[in-house]
């Protein structure tokens, strides 16, 4: 059954392969870094990348998701207008972050914005092979450059390695600059959709980055480092729902139903969650002995892959039908739930409490979105 489904959805295979190999490079880098750094230094490295990445998501303004959805529906102007808007917002955020933090974090913001807009344009145009090669190349160069520069420059070298890679693989965006017109009529047409997409993007950014900004001042670099390695495993396994989301968003925006594919994705996610839960002790003991205090937290956070699958696939359905308001509301539920639980149980349960906060927040978001999907009429609508 699975081979037949993959054969009829070859685009998903390309996206999944690109994301999987890219995740192996990225996840492998962070996990390799964990073997040569102490938890405190590992926490600081992740903190710098987190603040720069979060600023990048702010600068994107939801335009990446908007471009994928609208291009798939036939628009030809949206990518240029979205690129010039994110160029302005990216420059502003980069300048502010350079003044408030390290100078190279500002370049990180610009590079990540350029790179993400380029990759999501490939998805909207259904250039799935190009997208796959694009992701793999960027992640491989990040791994090599960041490791080399880490031994030369220390923690700052890791960030600079990411910056160089982002710019190397931002060619579509950089080429579009010469076509900028300062017209935003297409963007204004889809403004409401973009706002809701922005909230969804920010909830994902909060999952990956914002929590570190809260955890560091409350619990310190050591706790942050132990928590982050658990989150790295979740995000690595989470490439399955992310890949499915990216593929289904583009396909269903064109009016092609992918209901059976979602069921397969749920099954695979459950198997991966069970594997990570049962093998956590062996993984940490043999590969990450400096992080054995994270065992219970890693088992807890592994369960989060299941509600994460519900969140990503349900959101792709809402976006393809134009019902983006539910996505925004679900994102708000995730953010508020996680922040509240970090404050309530983080100090009592330590890293395990922080992992539990992720699971509960994802579950609350998933339940809300599932209920909304049942109640929402299943008919396509324009992206607005």
Choose among 226, 11, 281, 26: nearest CA to 136. Answer: 26
Note whether 54 and 210 are within 8 A (CB).
Answer: yes
Residue 105 sits at the vertex; the CA angle it makes with 101 and 108, to the nearest 5 degrees, is 165
Choose among 57, 52, 82: nearest CA to 172. Answer: 82
Residue 161, token pair as written in the block = 């390695």
Note whether 350 and 339 are within 8 A (CB).
Answer: no
d(CA 258, CA 266): 13
Domain boundaries, the chain: 2-375
Q: For 78-115, what is each residue's pLDDT tens digit?
A: 888 889 999 999 999 999 999 988 899 999 999 999 99
pLDDT of residue 6: 46
Q: For 295-322, what is each residue's pLDDT tens digit?
A: 899 999 988 888 888 887 787 677 666 6
Choose among 312, 331, 314: nearest CA to 242. Answer: 312
Cβ burial, residue 338 (10 Å; 0-12/13-18/19+): buried
Note whether 201 and 249 are within 8 A (CB).
Answer: no
DSSP 212-252: HHHHHHHHHHHHHHHHHHHHHHHHHHTHHHHHHHHHHHHHH
Confidence of residue 382 (pLDDT cuts 50, 70, 90): very low
Share of the chain above pLDDT 70, in %: 80
The per-residue pLDDT of the chain, averaged, comes to: 81
d(CA 194, CA 198): 6
Helix (H) or strand (E) holding 166: helix 155-168
Note whether 362 and 331 are within 8 A (CB).
Answer: no
């Amino acid at each position: 059954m699975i081979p037949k489904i993959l054969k009829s959805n070859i685009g998903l295979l390309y996206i999944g392969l690109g994301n999987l190999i890219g995740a192996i490079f990225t996840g492998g880098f962070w996990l390799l870094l964990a073997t040569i750094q102490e938890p405190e230094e590992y926490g600081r490295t992740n903190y710098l990348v987190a603040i720069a990445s979060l600023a990048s998501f702010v600068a994107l303004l939801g335009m990446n998701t908007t471009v994928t959805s609208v291009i798939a529906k036939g628009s030809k102007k949206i990518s240029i207008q979205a690129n010039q808007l994110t160029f302005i917002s990216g420059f502003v955020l980069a300048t502010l972050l350079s003044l408030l933090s390290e100078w190279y974090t500002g370049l990180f913001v610009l590079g990540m914005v350029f790179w993400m807009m380029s990759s999501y344009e490939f998805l909207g145009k259904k250039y799935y092979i190009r997208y796959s090669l694009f992701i793999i190349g960027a992640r491989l160069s990040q791994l090599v450059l960041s490791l080399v520069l880490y031994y030369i420059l220390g923690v700052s070298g890791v960030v600079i390695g990411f910056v160089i890679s982002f710019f190397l693989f931002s060619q579509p965006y950089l080429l579009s600059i010469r076509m900028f017109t300062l017209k935003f009529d297409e963007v204004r047409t889809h403004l409401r959709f973009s706002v809701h997409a922005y909230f969804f993007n920010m909830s994902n950014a909060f999952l990956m980055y914002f929590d570190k900004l809260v955890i560091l001042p409350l619990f310190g670099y050591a706790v942050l480092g132990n928590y982050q390695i658990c989150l790295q495993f979740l995000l690595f396994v989470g490439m399955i729902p992310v890949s499915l989301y990216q593929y289904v968003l583009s396909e269903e925006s064109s009016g092609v139903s992918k209901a059976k594919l979602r069921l397969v994705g749920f099954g695979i996610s459950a198997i991966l969650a069970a594997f990570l839960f049962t093998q956590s002790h062996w993984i940490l003991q043999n590969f990450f002995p400096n992080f054995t205090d994270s065992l219970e937290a890693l088992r807890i956070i592994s369960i989060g892959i299941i509600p994460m699958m519900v969140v990503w696939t349900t959101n792709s359905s809402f976006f393809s039908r134009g019902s983006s308001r539910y996505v925004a509301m679900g994102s708000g539920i995730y953010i508020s739930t996680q922040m509240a639980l970090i404050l309530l149980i983080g100090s009592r349960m330590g890293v395990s409490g922080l992992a539990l906060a992720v699971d509960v927040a994802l579950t609350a978001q998933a339940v809300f979105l599932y209920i909304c999907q049942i109640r929402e009429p299943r008919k396509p609508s324009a992206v607005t």
